[in-house]
Amino acid sequence: MRTNDRQIQLTLRIDGAALAITVPQPPQHGRLDELLPALHAIDNAAIGHAVHKVEASGAAISCAKGCSACCRAQPVPVTPPEAFALLTLVVAMPPARRADVEARFAERTRRLKDAGLAEAFLERDPELTSHTARGLATAYFQLGLVCPFLEGDVCSIHPQRPFVCRQYLVTSDPALCADPFANPVAVIPMPLRAASAMLTVSESALGGQQHTVPLILALEYVRRHRDALSRQFDAEPLLRQWLQALTNSDPAAGT
């Protein structure tokens, strides 16, 4: 990995291929969420590789602009730094738009609280089993909580969307995504675990077990953990740790 004042050049090795990537240099000392532009650039390169691999096999990605089934009910999981980044994004919006988006978040959060599910997501039980987690996700899905950023079947924050949204690409009929719990949705495999790596970095930096929350609870989560998420760290060691955690091996080499 080579750095200058504004950019980082690195080589990502996936399936034996060397992908040269240039990413924006994070602040030398900053919050965890300020790493995200660099991490998104790396993730995008890995996703591009995965898409090319699938298309070379003769399959085609079904996802397209205007296809919004995955934005309409799924509990899109975001990491704590991503939650903070979403709050920062909302706060920076023009006043009228900010009020509208915040109202959407509040309405969805209220419905989740009324269903008795919010606390289970906000204060995750460390002993949560996969069976219980699937039950919670199913109950969430049945509420039909539309992403607050979805407008006219289009993601209004597409360049800043979370890791999970970036990596969720399918080759099956888009109609099947209306109920991924019941239908055989064919999600393309991704070579890197971007969100899991972000949790690893968060646990190292913030201490204690970290977990994802549904996107609609992002603002509520940050209100509870703002002090921790506002802490600042040296960026380079955390960036290297994220790269190491992507595949439990070192995917990056100097250029």
Amino acid occupying residue 226: R
Other Cβ atoms within 10 Å of 56 Cβ, number: 8
Strand partners, 13: 18
Domain map (residue ranges) of the chain? 2-253
pLDDT of 109: 98
Residue 120: which H helix or E strand, with range? helix 118-122
Residue 214: which H helix or E strand, with range? strand 213-214
- pTM across the whole model: 0.93
pLDDT of 124: 92
Residue 107: which H helix or E strand, with range? helix 95-114
Alpha-carbon gap, residue 113 to 160, rounded angstroms:
27
CA 208 to chain centre: 20
Residue 154 dihedral angles phi and psi, to the nearest 5°: -130, 140
pLDDT of 253: 33
pLDDT of 255: 25
Residue 24: which H helix or E strand, with range? strand 17-24
pLDDT of 2: 65
**Which ranges of the chain have pLDDT less than 50?**
249-255
Alpha-carbon gap, residue 55 to 37, rounded angstroms:
27
pLDDT of 121: 96
pLDDT of 17: 87
